[in-house]
Amino acid sequence: MKALTTIPAPIIHALVAVAGERAQTRFWEFFVANIRNAHTRRAYGRSISDFLSWCEQRGLASIVDIEPLHIGAYVEILTRSHSAPTAKQNLAAIRMLFDWLVTGQIVPTNPAASVRGPKHVVVVGKTPVLDPQEARALLDSIDVTTPAGLRDRALIALMVYSFARVGAALAMKVEDAYMQNRR
């Protein structure tokens, strides 16, 4: 319990502070209890802080006053200055926050629920695929005179031929690999 007292008290945003003590508590519970991943917590915190600052600049007095029109306008402006995935991530953060506030009975409805994000379709992935000659050159370039070299070559070969990521390749068992039509 002593460790919790050493954590500095966070600065609450003005729009949340005006909504009352229950709203403040529920707001911080969203980040502490609802989001487990530290990177997601940081990204959502930045997104929500930017959104609340934007709302405050527009003259909104409280988080309770935010409506779908405000969120839609914010996403539209964000789409002009950022990529579609960034705008979608910001909208997701706002939606999750308001869902949390609705279940905590701070706001009656989620104003972000009806707001649609920008369309983003990935046609071609960013990860390049090695052709057979490049894969062979990569595998041949690994020094196999040491146990580490043999390990690295086996792992990279497994990843190249199974299209698995490192974590998935490390979790594989012998039974997971099988021959099918000489492949």
Task: Give the pLDDT of residue 142.
Answer: 93
**Where residue 10 falls among pLDDT bands split at 50, 70, 90?**
low
Q: Tokens in use for 156?
A: 């990279």
Say if CB 99 and CB 106 are below 8 A apart: no
pLDDT in the model for residue 128: 75
Model confidence pLDDT, tens digit, residues 82-102: 999 999 999 999 999 999 999
Q: How confident is the model at residue 175 (pLDDT cuts 50, 70, 90)?
A: confident
Greater model confidence, 181 or 29:
29
pTM > 0.95 = no
Residue 36 has pLDDT above 80, yes or no: yes
Neighbour count for residue 4 (Cβ, 10 Å):
6
Higher pLDDT, 25 or 129: 25
Q: What is the pLDDT of residue 182?
A: 60
Is 164 or 139 the better-scoring residue by pLDDT?
A: 139
CA dist 156 and 143 (Å) reads: 13
Confidence of residue 63 (pLDDT cuts 50, 70, 90): very high
Select the more confidently predicted residue: 82 or 183.
82
Mean pLDDT of the chain: 87
Q: What is the pLDDT of residue 113?
A: 93
**Residue ranges in the chain assigned as alpha helix (H):** 2-5, 14-18, 21-29, 38-57, 68-81, 84-103, 132-140, 147-162, 166-171
Q: Quick one: which of 106, 138, 78, 84 has its CA closest to 22?
A: 106
